[in-house]
Structure 1
Amino acid sequence: MNLKTLTLSSAVALGLAATANAADTNIRFDGFPDFDSSLKVILPDFEKQSGIKVDYLMNNHGDHHTKLTTNLATGSGAGDVIVVDVEKIGPFVASGGLVNLSEQYGADKYEESFAPYAWAQGKGGDGAVYGIPVDLGPGVMYYRTDILDKEGVKQETVIKDWDSYIEYGKKLKQDDIYLIASAADVAQAIIFTTVPEGEGLYFDADGKPVVTSERFVHAFEVAKQIRENGLDARITAWSNEWYEGFRNGTFATQLSGAWLLGHLQNWIAPETSGKWGVSNLPDGIYGSWGGSFLSIPKQSEKQDDAWKLIEYMTTNRDVQLKHFETIAAFPANTTTYDDKLFDEKVEFLGGQQARQLFAEVAKNIKPVDPGRGDHVARSIILENALMEVLDEGKDIKTALSEAERLILRRTRNLK
């Protein structure tokens, strides 16, 4: 799940009550919300079956990964099982602090059960697996159906292309409603979902930055058009203003991963149930928006028990489906996709059979191999260059050229 800084307490230690039979051993699971909502549901059965007691520690998304970076560097302090966001799996694998799951547990035997693009993302440069995909983030657009109906516009028209999406925003503006929380989300969607074959998100097959290519120019241009027309609310994701925007109908659409549904219905805006729908992303694009992996730090003294939990959470069809049902974390295990759960109507989305859409998107996502410098390039492009264009009016090609030079300098020593 591609989750950003959550304004929750920076460290919330959460434990489960002991099972009826005393557990033989204890392990710790380190993650970020909304994993705790899922763990409350799926762990009691695991503890009963295995005799392994699982405690879990939840930090907000940013603090969780910052803590793990320190833990892996120092060789202490990490849980036995850790959740790693797709944006961090590359550098975490490269750190050398994770267990080789192929060598130690024969993880490759499960490859055929997982979405190919996600399985590839959990591998290191040696071809071994260091992270097992637990959930995916099919890219979709959530939209307020009540606002759409009031404006008298058809959803198919809104997502036809970026021009029609922007026209919808101009119509909304007349009623003091924003199209989206932040224009930056549109740029991210285009960058992430229109990757040419043979390229990574930010680098080509030879490790050369591609951030001055037409893909990035186009992404910045569309976002700039939205900003200059006053169509976005300039609200940062995972802020209090963002939450209130969902609750109050401040903005009419949000591009995200399927996983956003779990947050909306479970804690961000449950009172808006029935006022939402979900569709493909605009302009006919398909792509991944987040996703999570489970890994074992080498520092864990209970690696075998940790592996049992990872197997349980990723290879068990029923557990993957329960994880999906509870927090809308789309299954990475493709053997689940024929389950009747996918045909059920989602009450929060007005009875829409949304899981069928999620599956359709997931099946159309093309593999994009992660680069060692992706985390560096992402920060420079989306947090620096894009903000300079949107907030300061900087020329797009100038911003991207300067970003390219900075990426080359900061990734020079990455092997």
Structure 2
Amino acid sequence: MKTHVKAGVAALSLVAASAFAADIRFDLYPDYDTQINAIKDGLPQHNITVLKNNHGDHHNKLKTNLATGAGAGDVVLIDVGFVGSFINSGGFVDLTDRYKDIAGNYAHYAVEAGKGSDGKQYAIPVDLGPGVMYYRRDYMEDMGFDINEVMTDWDTYLAYGAKLKEKDILLIGNAKAVANAYYRFNTNAGEGLYFDANGKSLVTSERFVKAFEIAKAIRDGGMDGNISEWTEDWYASFRDGKFATQMSGAWLLGHLKNWIAPDTAGKWGVSNLPAGIYGTWGGSYLAIPKQSKNPDAAWDLISYMVSKDIQLAGFKNIAAFPAHTGTYDDPSFSESIDFLRGQKARLMFAEIARNITPVTPMKGDLIAEDLIEKALDDVLNDGADIQKTLKGVEQQLKRRVR
């Protein structure tokens, strides 16, 4: 679950030692320190120390630790956006034999994304980010629109945005989110986001061209505010009702409810994305660096955190959507959510999680992501030609990714 907080490092001893306890360190980013603190008494045989950094600093540190072979914790938390690059760079313990007997209990696509190019399991999914559309009900049904009709396809979504524009309401905070959803959620089986199974670039494919075209139509039509996500301006826009929709992972519900816009309770709903596409928007993994001195104890912690009861606890404690599909029959999934005007949204989240197509992680993903993000800025902000810009990205990938 991706979170954005101010930088800071904290270390605290969480679990009392037993006579045969091992000392293990868990390197993580918020809000998993909250989760660990809540579940700490369930694994009394080990001494667990938490090392917390903000999301960006945590991954930068881990990248350095893996490159140098020193400094990483015994267990590390990894955002899905980094997992492919980190795994295929080496440095993690092969967990295939430990995990194989329980892997069937977890969302298939997430399990696959934790494998290396050699087919072995190096990272274990601990939470998911089913991709959804949060929308303002006061700008939808309260104004006479039908969410199912609006989300029929991308054309109907854009038509809704055009009608909102007439009322001085923005469709979305930033058109880049729409492009991200389209190219991330329309992959073919066996493909990565940016490369095919043979490592050939896909960034000039119709998937990326269409994603850029939709985003450009939104920007050119004045339907977004060019508001950078995870900024104070973005948070204020949620509170003030500046825009009508936001594409994100299911986990955004926890942020909206708990700290971004708690006073907007009852004004929100959530739906599938346009054209009924399924995809993942965020998610987290657990892995054991080869440099760990206590890999067996590290596995004890991982297996505990991905157990059914603890997965449900994470869902309740920090809104981390469970990777364990056996949790989806829990009565809590059928509960109405007051913040969403009584909608039973968790059932939708579970249905999406069961139907996501696996995306193969590739070593060059982080490089490609940076280049695509810059290219999208060039198209939306500077009017760059889409086809020419994507060809430029492909040329750079050929030079930088072997």
TM-score bracket for this pair, using the shorter chain length: over 0.9
Q: Distance in 1 between matches of 2:337 and 2:18?
A: 36
CA contact 1:30–1:83 (8 Å) conserved in 2: yes
* C-alpha displacement of 1:257: 0.9
* C-alpha displacement of 1:20: 10
1:391 corresponds to which of 365, 381, 396: 381
SS at match of 1:179: strand
Counterpart amino acid of 1:44? D
CA contact 2:378–2:384 (8 Å) conserved in 1: yes
Q: Distance in 1 between matches of 2:104 and 2:246?
A: 33
Q: Distance in 2 between matches of 1:149 and 1:335?
A: 34
Counterpart amino acid of 1:69? K
SS at match of 1:65: helix
SS at match of 1:368: coil
2:90 aligns to what?
96
SS at match of 1:293: strand
* C-alpha displacement of 1:21: 7.8
Deviations 1:223-244 (A, max 9, x none): 0000001111111221121222
Q: Distance in 1 between matches of 2:134 and 2:19?
A: 45
CA contact 1:122–1:130 (8 Å) conserved in 2: yes
Q: What is the percent sequence identity of the aligned residues?
A: 54
CA contact 1:30–1:56 (8 Å) conserved in 2: yes
Q: Distance in 2 between matches of 1:166 and 1:256?
A: 18
TM-score w.r.t. length of structure 2: 0.94
CA contact 1:135–1:291 (8 Å) conserved in 2: yes
Deviations 1:67-96 (A, max 9, x none): 110111122222221111111111211222
Q: 1:171 to 1:129 in 2, by over 3 A?
A: same
* TM-align CA RMSD: 1.9
Q: Distance in 1 between matches of 2:9 and 2:171?
A: 34
Q: Distance in 2 between matches of 1:95 and 1:255?
A: 31
2:259 aligns to what?
267
Deviations 1:317-344 (A, max 9, x none): 1111111122222211112122112111
1:404 corresponds to which of 388, 394, 399: 394
Q: Distance in 1 between matches of 2:235 and 2:12?
A: 27
Q: Distance in 2 between matches of 1:198 and 1:53?
A: 41
1:111 aligns to what?
103
1:53 corresponds to which of 47, 56, 59: 47
2:77 is the counterpart of 1:75: no
Deviations 1:346-387 (A, max 9, x none): 222222111100011111111121122111111111x21111
1:126 aligns to what?
118
* C-alpha displacement of 1:249: 1.4
2:369 aligns to what?
378
Q: Distance in 1 between matches of 2:157 and 2:242?
A: 17
Count matched residues: 402
Deviations 1:34-63 (A, max 9, x none): 2233223222333xxx33232323322221
1:342 corresponds to which of 329, 333, 342: 333
Counterpart amino acid of 2:260? I
Q: 1:319 to 1:85 in 2, by over 3 A?
A: same
Q: 1:150 to 1:371 in 2, by over 3 A?
A: same
SS at match of 1:83: strand
Deviations 1:131-180 (A, max 9, x none): 01101111100111123244321211221111221122222223332111
1:159 corresponds to which of 140, 151, 169: 151
CA contact 2:15–2:46 (8 Å) conserved in 1: no
Q: Distance in 2 between matches of 1:215 and 1:164?
A: 19
CA contact 2:266–2:339 (8 Å) conserved in 1: yes
Counterpart amino acid of 2:116? G
Q: Distance in 1 between matches of 2:336 and 2:142?
A: 24
TM-score w.r.t. length of structure 1: 0.92
Q: Distance in 1 between matches of 2:216 and 2:368?
A: 20
Q: Distance in 1 between matches of 2:50 and 2:244?
A: 36
2:175 aligns to what?
183
* C-alpha displacement of 1:16: 5.9
Structure 1 unaligned segments of length 5 or more: list them.
none
Q: 1:56 to 1:275 in 2, by over 3 A?
A: farther
2:166 is the counterpart of 1:169: no
Q: Say which is worse superposed, 225-234 or 235-244, in terms of deviation.
A: 235-244
* C-alpha displacement of 1:198: 3.8
Deviations 1:111-147 (A, max 9, x none): 2111111111111122221101101111100111123
Q: Distance in 2 between matches of 1:407 and 1:225?
A: 27
Alignment of 1:268-307 (within 5 A): 268-307=260-299
* C-alpha displacement of 1:100: 1.4
2:317 is the counterpart of 1:323: no
2:208 is the counterpart of 1:219: no
1:196 corresponds to which of 181, 188, 192: 188
SS at match of 1:319: helix
2:328 is the counterpart of 1:333: no
